[in-house]
Amino acid sequence: MKKNASTKPRGSTSYKETSFGIIPRSKLLKLELEGTKKGLEYIHDLVNENSFVAITPQLILEVHRESFGWIFPDWAGKYRTIRVEFSGKETVLPHQVPEQIHNLCEDLKERLGYLNQNKANFIEEVVKLLAWFQHRFVWIHPFQDYNGRVARMLTIVILLKLNLPPVEISAKDRKKYLNAMYSADEGNYSKLEDLIGRALVESLSKFNKSI
């Protein structure tokens, strides 16, 4: 997946307008990490209060707003109004985003209903569901930025709802993750499923050792 190519010279410093003023990428990185932390705390509190919480369009907007609204109050927690391109093809147009997100949430609700924790292939089916959801969410690209982060936060919500531990794709696997998303663009989810599956097995192993 890739957005429209940048016209900035390689090595140039990018700047963004935030609630803290116009700042360089180096300073924004620290704020983004804090925003991700805020988002993770928000979803954990949410599920702790209500394990039956559903992933809805409203929840998706709230997760984005809670995570990054304090940095970008003008557009965080709102669907994008700009057009984007992935893998050389234009994706969902801005006016189509609300309907696409609604459909995604409905599809997710239906797929969750088919999961059976008593079946031997339960974990395998969960991994397939997570891979489908992450890729579909990022492909819709509902927000101006931080779509991948929100997709992974929502993945954690799904796991917690299923009484499974959260997963994290390690930094060393970031390139593999991006390549897996490219493959999913072409309908091949195997690489993405493999990454998520290994992360879930590792997370389950750590969880079982802790109890």
Helix axes 174-185, 122-140, angle to 10 degrees: 80
What are the chain's domains? 23-164 (1.10.3290.10)
User: What's the confidence (pLDDT) of residue 9?
Assistant: 41
Task: Establish how many alpha carbons lie within 13 A of residue 16's alpha carbon, considering only the half-sphere containing its beta carbon.
Answer: 16
User: Exposed/middle/buried for 74, CB within 10 Å: 0-12, 13-18, 19+?
Assistant: exposed
Q: What pLDDT was estimated at residue 28?
A: 95
Cβ-Cβ contacts under 8 Å for 58 (sequence gap 6 or more): none
**Cβ atoms 102, 57 nearer than 8 A:** yes
User: pLDDT tens digits for the chain (211 residues)?
Assistant: 544 433 344 444 588 999 999 999 999 999 999 999 999 999 999 999 998 999 999 999 999 999 999 999 999 999 999 998 866 777 899 999 999 999 999 999 999 999 999 999 999 999 999 999 999 999 999 999 999 999 999 999 999 999 999 998 887 888 999 999 999 999 999 999 999 999 999 999 887 776 5
Given this model, what pLDDT does residue 86 score? 67
Looking at residue 4, what is its pLDDT? 43
The DSSP secondary structure of the chain, one letter per residue, reads: ---SPP-SPTTPPPEEEETTEEEEHHHHHHHHHHHHHHHHHHHHHHHHH-TT----HHHHHHHHHHHHTTT-TTTTTS---S--EETTEE---GGGHHHHHHHHHHHHHHHHHH--TTSTTHHHHHHHHHHHHHHHHHHH--SSS-HHHHHHHHHHHHHHHTT-------GGGHHHHHHHHHHHHTT--HHHHHHHHHHHHHHHHHHHHH-
Contact 137, 150 (CB under 8 A): yes
Residues facing residue 89 across a β-bridge? 86
**Bridge partner residues of 24 (DSSP):** 15
**Angle 44-128-200 (CA atoms, 0-180°, nearest 5)?**
50
Instruction: Select from 166, 167, 148 the least CA-distant residue to 36.
Output: 148
